Amino acid sequence: MKNICGKVIENVGLHARPASVAVTEASKYDSNITLQYMGRMANMKSIIQVMKLSVPANGEIEIQCEGEDEERAVAGIAEILEKKHIIQRTKKEV
């Protein structure tokens, strides 16, 4: 399992457009990918589940990738979310 920890820096939080960016990227991989916020979890391949978490700006999140392509998944998700200024990693993936 590989993890990404970060803070949401998008001013609207992880809602609508930023959530769709995250879900679109996560859906490219076969691994199970979950998003955690304040003890709650969502399937990161589901826009409804991600938006239901209601992650605000400055919310601390963890993304977990588990599966045969977890290395590529964690790298791809981190890259796009940072490139689009949606999250800022608080520590390197483990």
Q: Catalytic site residues?
A: 15
Q: Which helix (H) or strand (E) holds 87?
A: strand 87-91
Among candidates 11, 38, 29, 42, which has minimal Cα distance to 78? 29
Q: CB 20: neighbour CB atoms within 10 A?
A: 13
